[in-house]
C-alpha cells in the first residue's frame, strides 16, 4: 500500500436533508441535520485510507471549536495531520449543504475566512517516503510553486491535480502534474458539451480524466486514446455529495497500484457509484472490493 499526501482543504459540512429542494423565499423544515467533516482533498484521503493507504493531509487547521469535529474525523480515518499549519485565529471553511432526499442532489453554499496553505508550508513536508501527491486546483500561484518544486526535486514522484471550478489562471497549472482530473462543471464552463470533445481538444502529454456524473467518466490516455467507463448506479440513489472525491480516490488507488487507465476508470466509477447508494463515507469499502 502507498503513502499518499493530499494538499487542500477540510471543511465543516452542515447537511440538511430535505424532502425536495426549496423554492426561493420559502420556509422548509429539514428531515434531519448532520455536521460532518468535508472538503475535497480530505474526503479523497478518507476513502484512500479505507482502501488501505497511509494518508496525510497538508492544509490549514484553525484553533476554534469547529476544528475539533474535523480533527476527530480525520483521526478516525487515520489521516496524519502533522503537515498541517495550525493557526490561532480565524474560522474553518464551512459548507451549508441542502441534500434533496428525492434525487440525492446536493446544493452548497460555502463560507470561508481562512488563509490558504502556502508553498512555504509545503516545503516543510518530508516527501522522501511519499508515493503520490494529490492537489486541489485552488490557490493557483502557491500550488504552481508546489508543483514546480516537485517537478524539480522529486521528478519521479507522481502527482495529480483536481480541477473542479474555473479560477483565474488555473490553466497555468495544467503542464505540471502527471494526472489531471477535470470536473464536468469546469469542462462545461469552457463551452464544451461532451467530455470527449474537451479531451480531444487538449494537447498535453499526460493522463487526463473527466468525470461526468451519471454518465460515468472519460479519459485521454498517454497514447491519446479516448477511454470511457459508464456509471454504476446504486439500486437506490441516496447521496451524491462527495461522489467526485470518491471517484478521485478510486482513480488514485488504481494508478498507484499500476492498473491501466481503462480499468482504473471503471474502478473509480464503481466506487463512486457505490458511494451514491449511501450517506457519507463511513464503511464505504466494507462490502465492496475493487478489482486489481
In the complex, minimum distance from the CB of residue 269 to ligand ADP, in angstroms, rounded to a whole number: 4
Q: Which lies closer to ligand ADP via its Cβ, residue 102 or residue 153?
A: 102
Q: Which lies closer to ligand ADP via its Cβ, residue 97 or residue 231?
A: 231
How big is the chain by its Cα radius of gyration, in Å?
18
In the complex, minimum distance from the CB of residue 195 to ligand ADP, in angstroms, rounded to a whole number: 10
Is-contact 41 134, C-beta < 8 A? yes
Is-contact 127 113, C-beta < 8 A? no
Is-contact 18 68, C-beta < 8 A? no
In the complex, minimum distance from the CB of residue 149 to ligand ADP, in angstroms, rounded to a whole number: 28
Hunting for cell 500550488 — which residue is that?
Answer: 143
In the complex, minimum distance from the CB of residue 57 to ligand ADP, in angstroms, rounded to a whole number: 19
Q: Which residues contact 172 (CB under 8 A, 6 or more apart)?
A: 140, 144
Q: Which lies closer to ligand ADP via its Cβ, residue 146 or residue 231?
A: 231
How crowded is the C-beta side of 191, counted as CA atoms within 13 Å? 1
Is-contact 112 59, C-beta < 8 A? no
Q: Which lies closer to ligand ADP via its Cβ, residue 86 or residue 214?
A: 214
In the complex, minimum distance from the CB of residue 226 to ligand ADP, in angstroms, rounded to a whole number: 15
In the bound state, the residue with its beta carbon closest to ligand ADP is 244
Q: Which lies closer to ligand ADP via its Cβ, residue 9 or residue 243?
A: 243
Is-contact 104 240, C-beta < 8 A? yes
Is-contact 58 127, C-beta < 8 A? no
Q: Rounded distance, CA 195 to CA 71, Å?
A: 37
Q: Rounded distance, CA 133 to CA 83, Å?
A: 13
In the complex, minimum distance from the CB of residue 282 to ligand ADP, in angstroms, rounded to a whole number: 17
In the complex, minimum distance from the CB of residue 183 to ligand ADP, in angstroms, rounded to a whole number: 5
Q: Which lies closer to ligand ADP via its Cβ, residue 2 or residue 272?
A: 272
Contact set with ligand ADP (CB under 6 A)? 183-184, 211-214, 216-217, 231, 233, 237, 240, 243-244, 247, 269, 272-273, 276
Q: Rounded distance, CA 172 to CA 117, Å?
A: 19
Q: Which lies closer to ligand ADP via its Cβ, residue 108 or residue 145?
A: 108
Q: Which lies closer to ligand ADP via its Cβ, residue 104 or residue 158?
A: 104
Hunting for cell 426549496 — which residue is that?
Answer: 22
In the complex, minimum distance from the CB of residue 217 to ligand ADP, in angstroms, rounded to a whole number: 4
Amino acid at each position: 500500500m502507498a503513502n499518499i499526501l493530499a494538499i487542500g482543504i477540510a471543511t465543516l459540512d452542515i447537511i440538511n436533508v430535505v424532502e425536495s429542494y426549496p423554492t426561493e423565499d420559502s420556509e422548509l423544515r429539514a428531515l434531519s441535520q448532520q455536521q460532518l467533516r468535508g472538503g475535497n482533498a480530505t474526503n479523497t484521503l478518507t476513502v484512500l485510507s479505507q482502501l488501505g493507504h497511509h494518508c496525510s493531509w497538508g492544509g490549514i487547521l484553525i484553533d476554534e471549536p469547529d476544528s475539533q469535529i474535523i480533527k476527530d474525523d480525520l483521526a478516525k480515518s487515520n489521516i496524519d495531520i502533522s503537515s498541517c499549519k495550525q493557526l490561532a485565529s480565524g474560522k474553518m471553511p464551512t459548507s451549508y449543504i441542502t441534500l434533496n432526499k428525492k434525487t440525492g442532489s446536493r446544493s452548497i453554499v460555502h463560507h470561508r475566512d481562512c488563509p490558504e496553505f502556502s508553498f512555504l508550508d509545503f516545503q516543510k513536508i518530508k516527501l522522501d517516503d511519499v508515493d503520490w501527491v494529490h492537489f486541489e486546483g485552488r490557490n493557483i500561484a502557491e500550488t504552481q510553486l508546489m508543483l514546480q518544486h516537485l517537478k524539480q526535486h522529486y521528478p519521479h514522484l507522481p502527482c495529480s491535480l483536481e480541477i473542479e471550478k474555473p479560477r483565474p489562471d488555473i490553466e497555468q497549472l495544467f503542464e505540471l502534474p502527471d494526472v489531471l482530473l477535470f470536473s464536468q462543471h469546469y469542462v462545461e464552463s469552457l463551452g464544451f458539451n461532451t467530455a470527449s470533445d474537451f479531451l480531444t481538444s487538449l494537447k498535453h502529454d499526460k493522463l487526463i480524466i473527466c468525470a461526468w456524473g451519471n454518465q460515468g467518466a472519460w479519459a485521454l490516455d498517454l497514447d491519446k486514446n479516448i477511454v470511457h467507463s459508464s456509471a454504476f448506479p446504486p439500486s437506490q440513489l441516496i447521496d451524491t455529495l462527495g461522489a467526485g472525491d470518491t471517484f478521485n480516490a478510486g482513480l488514485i488507488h488504481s494508478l498507484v497500484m499500476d492498473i491501466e487507465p481503462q480499468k482504473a476508470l471503471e474502478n473509480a466509477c464503481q466506487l463512486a457509484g457505490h458511494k451514491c447508494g449511501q450517506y457519507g463515507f463511513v464503511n464505504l469499502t466494507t462490502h465492496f472490493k475493487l478489482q486489481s
